[in-house]
Structure 1
Amino acid sequence: MSGATVLSEIAAERTRQDAQWGGPAHDDTMPLDEFVALIRDYAGWARVKAREGSMVEARQRLIQVAALAVAAVESLDRRGTGRPAVVPRRSAGMDWE
């Protein structure tokens, strides 16, 4: 499956989430820590489903995780609190731990 296909699935999930929860009007009321908690919860469900052998369900949860992360970033950008002036190619302070 191509990256473009996965990204289109994430976009479709964002559309579904917006329809269910109210879109930016809802998202912009959520603190970042709530987004992070949701992302962590859905990622945990992906892990559970993978351990159960349900890769289709694990994959769907990961699509939801990605869509939630996009929602969080979009919300930060609308608030003007998350977007760097220049997008760095690589930042020493952002290495994976």
Structure 2
Amino acid sequence: MNQTEKSLDRAEALPALPDLDSGKIKGWIQLIQRLEERFRRSEEKKLALEANVIAQEAQLGQLLSHLHANIASLYDNLGQSKKAEEVRRRAEVLHAG
């Protein structure tokens, strides 16, 4: 491989191809193929995990919205409208940010 790079850099003729039937070359090719497959699978897993995190963040946002609405409703039912309005304002700020 180094000889090929040197030949390319010097604009010389490329060296002869190695014997592709040799066990050593086949071993390297198989190793590279396995590494590529592992990389592809790990990328697929990473994308799936990222999608899962995004979905969970969205669900958490919905749960927090429901929680704030329920707390504000509780304060309304207790006759504490100022507290209820304060919770609603804080929830708006939280969800806007």
- From the two aligned structures, give the one with the greater helix fraction: 2
TM-score (norm 2): 0.31
Which structure has more relative contact order (CA 8 Å, sep 6+)? It is 1
> Rg: which structure is higher?
2
TM-score (norm 1): 0.31
